[in-house]
Structure 1
Amino acid sequence: MTLPAAPASLLGADGQPLFGRYAGQVGTIDWSQLAAPFSRSPLWRRFHHKRWHYVALCTEAVFCAVAVVDLGWTSTAFAYTFDRKDGDMLANLSQDGLPLVSARLANHAGESSSFSRRGTHIAIDTSGDGSYALTLRSDYLEIDASFGPSPSPLLLATGPIAQGSVHATQKSSAMPLRGEVRTWRDEFTLDGGVASFDYSNGLLARNTAWRWASAHNLELGFNLQAGYFGDHENALWLDGDLIALGPAHFLYDKKDALSQWHIFTEDDMLDLYFTPEGARRDNKKMMVAASRYLQPVGTFSGWVRAAPDQPKRMVTQLMGVTEDHSSRW
């Protein structure tokens, strides 16, 4: 099924959200003009408005992830570099920010985001031609990366949130990557690899949880989520086409998340096994908030297809991540 083109705004003239899945870049995301029953007070929006900008960089040698997060009442950032050859986490940083000061989050994926605090500086920059740049400086990790434009359509998904209001997310599939990663031990070229991003912006519930899977190369990629956002953002990129997928199921041993995961969709268009090689964990407990975060890094094998009556396309050791995340925020 071909997805309709992304609208210029996610709100209609009557203030109602334009829920659905689209292809392309949205022009703006502004929830302040929502009409009933989705409208909320400015104070409620201050504490429930969550935005994050996440970038993944993947080569045969290394996998990196960088994120800037605005929680409304505070901000945070993280980054890590995983050595695929040795199975080592070469760098793993997490930095909390000051409210309204440390993070500058884009209003949509076509804008830039940044974070700066205590020697950690991150910039995710965009340009009008669909190209992107990621710069990171910290005591033991530095990244200079450029990627894009995307050879495949961007995914835009928006929908309602139980106990919250509305949410939107913009995802890319693989984009050609160039640059370098420098750690305390090694330097890695990023040339010839691929990058992808996740930009999300919504008015979320106090308690939010999800499972997520994402992996991409220039021929195929997928984004899967089960939890607070239902199946709204489930999609497959195949030979340049963007295809909507049905609800996803994640089967794994929560007591041993580094054991094999089985992930499949109800529409019989994706069935994959994920083998973790390592993971980033971050569990936080604060007076008014808590977070349990696990992001295994590894490879997916199995099959995907463009429709239930189409031939299966085999997937073999496609590098990516899964995630198990629950927050009280």
Structure 2
Amino acid sequence: MLKTVPPSVCDQHGQPLFGRYAGAPDQIAYDRLDAEYRRSWWWERTHRKHWHYVALASDELFCAMAIVDVGWTNTAFAYVFDRVAKRLIASYSRDGIPGLTARLSDHPAAGAFADFKFGRESMRYEQDEYGFKLRLIFPDWELEAGGESLHVVPGMTAIARPQGGTVHTTYKSSAMPCEAGVRVGERFWKLKMIASTDHSLGFLARETAWQWASAHSLSLGWNLQSGYLGEQENVLWLDGNLIALGAVRFQFQAEQPEQAWLITSEDGLIDLVFQPEGVRAEDKNLIIAASRYQQPIGVFNGRVRAAKDKPWREVKNLVGVTENHFSRW
């Protein structure tokens, strides 16, 4: 079981409080970071990576959005995936204007907001101690969602020293029930959905790569990652308990991400098969920067357990995503 998160990610001497915790810190701030973890102003400016990601899942639709500040510029994306038709029916991607189009707070939960505006296009997420609101407005489609967070199971915070970086903090929420209205063209859905968020901020390497898996229901969920943070953010939510996991192995075909993924943990607590229903992919090469991104949407089947001496829990058609991502940023 995980310890309760401290209110700050660094102690009074500026030392990062490395570890995995239950709950969200009040703020992710590095202004008093010890000299051991500091670099030049320019290095920190160009290596500071900050993003807020939100996913909404139901039997009918899977929706996601992200606002990302990479230090020297910013970007955003959003999409709606029709799980019945098994295809993307709405998608948005925009590179912003440095210092103008994106704003992100350093509060990962209560007090969080992420905002992106470009002309008539706007994205905004905000959260307080009672709940959250999400609003996406584009010429061809819109999404509005909101839910309470008072009685939600605690999320997970990982404070770690990333490969090639200095310090990085990520907060992953557990399942948050919500209601959402989605309009795509002349079609409209009003749905009960499960939301989850990822708020991350830190100083990462010039080149960063990872594989990731996330899925949530009110009684079961996980966050799994292999890459720049090692096993630090791997956790299982099971019947209200938050359980630390060991290193995770992803077996998949990078050139065919729509094929099945096999995901297992070295501690023997995770044994999953992910079957994609569709893929959102983006490949950008901006000369000084590049991003190769694949996010399959689909269902997980298999089994999980709280410990080696505990019984297996069957996982059946739990909707979620995997991700294979490389960034030169």
TM-score, normalisation: structure 2? 0.97
Spell out the pairing of 1:188-199 with structure 2 (5 A cutoff): 188-191=189-192, 193-199=193-199
Displacement, 1:185? 4.7
| Structure 1, 308-317 or 159-168: larger mean CA deviation | 159-168
Letter in 1 for 2:275: T
Paired with 1:312 and 1:185, the residues of 2 have a C-alpha distance of: 45
Equivalent pair of 2:28/2:108 in contact (CA under 8 Å): no
Spell out the pairing of 1:42-61 with structure 2 (5 A cutoff): 42-61=41-60
Identity, in percent, stands at 46
Paired with 2:119 and 2:251, the residues of 1 have a C-alpha distance of: 39
> What SS does the corresponding residue of 1:31 show, helix, strand or coil?
coil
Letter in 2 for 1:89: L
- For these two proteins, the number of residue pairs brought into alignment is 326
Letter in 2 for 1:189: K
Equivalent pair of 1:33/1:39 in contact (CA under 8 Å): no
Q: Tell whether 2:89 aligns with 1:90.
A: yes
- Give the 4+ runs in structure 1 shifted more than 3 A: none
> What SS does the corresponding residue of 1:189 show, helix, strand or coil?
strand
Letter in 1 for 2:159: T
The match for 1:118 is 119
CA-to-partner distance for each residue in 1:251-294, whole Å, 9 max, x for gaps? Answer: 01122111000001000001000000001111100121000000
TM-score, normalisation: structure 1? 0.97
The match for 2:28 is 29
> What SS does the corresponding residue of 1:33 show, helix, strand or coil?
coil
> What SS does the corresponding residue of 1:37 show, helix, strand or coil?
helix
Paired with 2:162 and 2:180, the residues of 1 have a C-alpha distance of: 38
The match for 2:237 is 237
> What SS does the corresponding residue of 1:32 show, helix, strand or coil?
coil
Paired with 1:252 and 1:154, the residues of 2 have a C-alpha distance of: 28
Equivalent pair of 1:58/1:190 in contact (CA under 8 Å): no
Letter in 1 for 2:119: R
Paired with 2:296 and 2:44, the residues of 1 have a C-alpha distance of: 32
Paired with 2:125 and 2:166, the residues of 1 have a C-alpha distance of: 27
Equivalent pair of 1:90/1:185 in contact (CA under 8 Å): no
Paired with 2:200 and 2:242, the residues of 1 have a C-alpha distance of: 19
Paired with 2:128 and 2:9, the residues of 1 have a C-alpha distance of: 21
Letter in 2 for 1:63: F
Paired with 2:300 and 2:176, the residues of 1 have a C-alpha distance of: 19
Q: Tell whether 2:98 aligns with 1:99.
A: yes
Unpaired runs of 5+ residues, structure 1, are: none
Q: Tell whether 2:153 aligns with 1:152.
A: yes
Unpaired runs of 5+ residues, structure 2, are: none
Do the aligned partners of residues 185 and 85 (structure 1) sit closer, same or farther apart at CA in structure 2, a change above 3 Å counting?
Answer: farther
